[in-house]
Structure 1
Amino acid sequence: MEYNDSATAADLRQRAHDFMEEVVLPAERAHDGGEVVPHETIADLRESAREYDVYAPQIPEEYGGMGLGLRDVLPLFEEAGRSLLGAPAMRVDAPDEGNMHTLELVGTEAQKDEWLRPLVAGEVNSAFGMTEPAPGGGSDPKMLRTTAERASGRAGDEWVIDGHKWWTTQGSAADVILLMARTDEEAHPYAGCSIILVPTDTEGVEIVRDIPHLGPASSSEGHAEVRFDDVRVPAENLLGEENEGFTIAQQRLGPARLTHCMRFSGMADRALTVAKTYMSDREAFGSSVADKQAQRFAVAEAETQLHAARTMVRDAAEKIARGEEARVEVSMSKVFAARVAQETIDLAVQCCGGAGISRDLPLADFYEAVRAFRIIDGTDEVHKRTIARDAFDEDAVRPEELESLPRFGESAD
C-alpha cells in the first residue's frame, strides 16, 4: 500500500524493518515464552538499534535522538509494534516516549539536562501520574483530587503535594513521575491543574504496589498505585506554566495516541502474518486451513481494516504536523485502531487453534496486551463522546433538512 510517506520515512521504516527481522525477532524467538525478558536483553537491543540508526528517532539530535517529525517516524512505530521488544529497543516505548516529548515541549533547559537526556539514553525511567482511584479522576479528569500547594520551606519556595494515584505505568521502576495535580482549587479543573516533576525518592512518595493486571507474561511493565503524603519538591519542578497542565497534557496525548495506534497496528499485522503462515502449513479435513473460505474471508476483512487504520492515523498526524489540534481525528483513529487491532489478534489466535493460546507463539502475549488498548489513553466511550460532540455541533445540525417532512397531525399533501 502507498501511504504518501516521505523518502525519509520510507528509509527509516526499511532500517527499522531490517532491525526487527535481523535482531529483535531472533531475540524474541530465543526467549522462553512466559518468562520476563531481562533488562540486559533490552540494553543489548538498544545498542544494536543505535548501530542500525533507528534509536529515538522522535527526539531532537541535541538530546540524543534523530530529530525527525511525527509524520516521518510513524512507520517506524508500526515496525516496532511487531514485537513487544521492538518499542523499548528503539526507545519509542510508552510512557517514556510521551514523557520525553512533554519535556522537550515545555521543559526548562535545567529540566531537560536533568531528565530528558538520561531518559533518551535509557539511563532512567519515568511515569505519568494522572489516573486516580474513585472518587478521583479517571475517565473524567475534571474529578482530579490530588493537590499541590505553593509554600515557603527551609529550602525556599516549594510545592507541597498530597494525593493518591493508580495505574501509573512504570511507576514502581520510575525515577521521576510527571504528576498532574490541582494547583488552583477555586478554578475549573481544566484551568487549575499543573504538571510537576516528582522524583520517586522524595520523602512522602509511597509506591504502594504494582496492580495485578491483564498483560503479557514476557513484560515486566507494572502499573503502580502511588500515594503522596506531604511531598515537597522545589518550585522549579513545575513543568511548563502553572495551571496549564491540561493544555500540556493534550499536546502530549495527541501524538502519543497516534504512536500507540501504530505500535498496535504493527502488533496486529505481525499476528496476522503468524496466523497466515500457520494456516498455510496446517492441514485439516483434506486441505490446508488457508484454503477454507471462512478463514480466507476473515483474513481479507482484517487486512482491509488494518489498511483503513493506517490511513486514519496518517491523516490525523498530517493535521498535527500542520499545527492543528486534530482532537476528533485522533479520537477516531484511537477508537478504530484499538478495535481493529483487538479483533485481528483475536482472529489470529483462533486461526492458530491450540498453538495460538500457547506461549510458543507471541499471540498469547499480544492478546493480553491489546485488550488494554481500548482503555489506556482514553476509553472508547470517552473518545466517542468527543466524536459525537463534534458530530452534533451547531454547524452540523441543519433544521432545514427536515422542512419537507410532514409534522404530526398534518397532511402529507
Structure 2
Amino acid sequence: MEQQFTTKQLKRREQIVAAGLVTWQHTDFSVLTMDAVAAELGVSKPALYRYFSSKDELIRAIDDSAAHSILTHGSSWLSATGSADLLTMSMLLVQHAAALFTENPYALQCVTARRYFLEPASRTALLALGKQMEDRLADRADRDTADYLLFSAAVWNIYRHFCGSAPAEHQQLLNHAAVTDGWILERCLNGIAGPQAKSASIDYVGVEQAFTPNRSETRREPHRIFTAIEQVVSEVGVAEATVQRIAERIGISTSSLYFHFSDRSDMITQTIEQERQHFIELLHRCRADFTGSPLEQLYGLMLLLDTYYRINPEILTVGNWIRSQTVRIAEPPSPPNLDQDFPFLTEGITSGWYTDQITSFSILAYLQMFVIHHRFFDAGRKESPCSIACMRRRFRLAFYGIETQGNTR
C-alpha cells in the first residue's frame, strides 16, 4: 500500500528531492549517497528515511521531478507560440529555458544523463514534447534551424550555470562576466561570429579537402575495452552493460581487468585520454599545411569531429556507457592547454573572427556537443556521412545563427 503524506511531509519531500538533485549533479549524476544528501540538508541520514524508504525511491523522485519541470516549461512554450513568427518563438524559447533553469537548474542534465533509466512514461512524454517543439519551429523554418535553436537555448543555459559552479582552477576557461538571457538570445540569432567574419568568405572546398583525412588515418583500432563495451551494450543495452560482463567479453576476470588500472574511474579516464591524444594528433596533421583563416579552421574542426565520430562510432557508444556508470570520472590534474592544441580559437577571438563575448573553451565545448548531438540523432547510419551541403548549413547556423538563413558564404 502506497504511503500517504501530509501537506507538510510532501513539502519536506520536495526539499529532499531538491537537495538530492544538487548533490547528485556534483558527481555528474554518477554517484548519489544518502549521506551526501543528509549533509546537504544538515540532517541525519535516518531523518531522510522517514520520507523515502530507500535511495532508489529518492532517485526515482529526483528523475520524476526533473522530467516534470521540463514537461511543464516545454508545454508552456508550446501554448505561447501558436501563431508566432520565428523571431518571437526564439525569444520565447530563451525566456522559457531561462525559467526552467531558474526553477530547476539541473533538470536537463539529469534527464540527459539518466535517459536510459527514466520511467517509461516520463521518457515517452519527454520524447513527444521534443518532437512537438521541433515541429513547431520547423513549421517556421526547417528541421536544421529548429534543431539548432533547441540545442543552443539548452546548451548556453547549461554553460551559464556551469560558469558559476566550475572549479576555481578552470575559471580562466570560462571568463564570462555574465551570461544573460540577452546574451543567449544573441548567440541563437547571430551565432558566435565576430565583426571580422561578417563579410568574410569561406573556401569550403579547400577546407573540406584539408580536413577530410582518409579512413586509414582517421580510423583508430579500438582499445579492446572499447570494443568489449560496444559489443556488450549492443547486446544487452546500456543499463545492463556491467563491468563484470565487459571483463567476461574480453576473456578475463574483473580483478584482472583492474590489475591494469587503479579502479574503474582510472580505467575510463586513461582510455578517454588516449582517444583525446589521437584526435589532437590528427588535427595537427590536418592543420600542418593549411593557411586558412580562424573561421575556416573552425569549420575544419567541425568536419574533422564529424568524420572522427562517424569512422570511430564505438566512441559515442562508450560515451553513452560512461554517462550511465555510477562512478565519477576524475577531472584532469590541470586545465587543458587550448592555446597549444587549438591556437586558432584564441587567435580568432583576439582578431575579431569570433565574438569577444565568448571563450576558447566555450567555443570548443559548444561545437563538440553540436556534432555529437547530431551523431546521436543519426543513429543507425554509422557509415553514412551528413552531406557536405548539410555540414555547411549546420556550420553556418552555429557560426552565424538564424538571422543569416540562406547565407551562402
TM-score under structure 1 length normalisation: 0.31
Larger fraction in helix: 2
TM-score under structure 2 length normalisation: 0.31
Higher relative contact order (CA 8 A, sep 6+): 2
Larger fraction in strand: 1
